[in-house]
């Protein structure tokens, strides 16, 4: 499912216009991303937890040339699914 598919489905299920759904979804994504970038954890009970993890610098390999390169330290987004979501995914 793409973002557009999600917007269409929410609009069809709720009767809210696609424009309003798109605006709300974009705003929610911006708020979650902004919170994570400031080191906050975003918890959506029954769905999961968004956060960030620090990754130390490390040595990597350029797949094209095989040359060893140093990858700088960075923060990466992480998501931990709730038990309900895990059970739902496994029951199909």
Token representation of residue 34: 């902004």
pLDDT confidence of 79, banded at 50, 70, 90?
A: very high
Beta-carbon neighbour count of residue 61 at 10 Å? 11
Residue 28: the pLDDT is: 97
Give the domain ranges of the chain.
Answer: 1-40, 41-92
User: What CATH number should be reported for the domain whose range is 41-92?
Assistant: 4.10.520.10
pLDDT confidence of 50, banded at 50, 70, 90?
A: very high
Residue 2: the pLDDT is: 97
Residue 56: the pLDDT is: 97
| Percentage of residues of the chain with pLDDT beyond 90 | 98
């Amino acid at each position: 499912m793409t973002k557009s598919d999600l917007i269409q489905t929410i609009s069809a299920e709720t009767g809210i216009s696609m424009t309003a759904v798109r605006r709300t979804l974009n705003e929610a994504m911006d708020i979650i991303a902004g919170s994570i970038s400031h080191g906050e954890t975003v918890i959506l009970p029954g769905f999961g937890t968004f956060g960030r993890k620090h990754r130390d610098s490390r040595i990597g390999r350029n797949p094209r040339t095989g040359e060893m390169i140093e990858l700088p330290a960075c923060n990466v987004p992480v998501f931990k699914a709730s038990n309900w979501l895990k059970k739902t995914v496994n029951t199909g």
